[in-house]
Structure 1
């Protein structure tokens, strides 16, 4: 099972910057050559692969390193030690580039569904297991964020400000429509939502409700409020008599 705090992908701006770096033809061809080499590549080899000078190759390689697409180190290729200065070699990083505007998070949805399959209990159907897995993941992420930031007691306004960080990071495009209400302008799971709205919206609702719970935000709850072209959930005022926002996820897909 994936970590409770699934590592966020690069922000849209970072991904766009990486794609922009690869827009130059020689640079892109060198990057492809290095990725396919299966071993560290020297500057001379990279230059020869596209037929440019060593100096120009160094410029392009530095751009790729700065963008996080390559890493550089000094080492003799093949492990053969020679007298003198070791050449600088380049190899690809584990960076993956995905650009989607508006942002999509299909990998999070897939991860939650896999989690549901692995933890489905005998007395529940697949949809119920998916909602439960989403709520559990959101709650643990909220708890981890609280442990990390130690924000103290969170009322509605400050609590929503903390929530905005995760929502923005995951592509929800949160907009504060009132001091204690957030409307989410983007559905990170579109267009998959249209194929199974009850399931995906139920999971989304559960994930966000769980996050609010784990973060221990008072006076705020995740509410299903579908609106064309936007996320199906908003964060708004809860029953102020409730000690910790939403204590349950009332929407259960498949029930």
Structure 2
């Protein structure tokens, strides 16, 4: 079991997301630290990309703000390096395949290892193309975190059996963004995944309130929240870290209540 998977042992995990260099370098560093201090188990850092096919308008706008700030892949690594001076919270990157391909699979995974990056979420990399990055990922101990969606169908078994770190369970059809309704077969989807693997599951896409986080934590092993936090950063700009930490604590508390409720049932 990988270090990421171990985080979920006897504990429901909270995985918040921020976009690197939104609105600037120092605020991103402070936001990562605030997420850790607020109770995040893993922090997901998005590497800005020009064509983020899985992301809704909130995260796309954050990518554009980061580009305006002059972000480069090198900048993202430097942000993590600066954050590492203040926190050892596990970090995973959400990135698109072209970024890793252009940097070089070997060089990218080596740099991740140097910065204690635990895994990569690559939404536009199909399972069938995974083999091209796996030699470098395995060499440097980087989990390639798969996504399973409500439409994965007959592919669920092979994706789940080959998974490591955790499985990103997509809550709904479509792109990221806050929503009030989710795929009504989530419990069955997670149950099917569990038939094939002991790798933990974490539900993301659309979750944005403590009540939703508590509900999702009763279904899966963890909860991922992105757009709600990115929206806080957009509104608060350089003042975001305090608000981000407060929001993280509210989600952490809700997920903990889910743990307690499950234990007393």
Length-normalised TM-score, structure 1: 0.24
Structure scoring higher RCO (CA < 8 A, sep ≥ 6) equals 2
* Structure number with larger C-alpha Rg: 1
Q: TM-score, normalised by structure 2?
A: 0.23
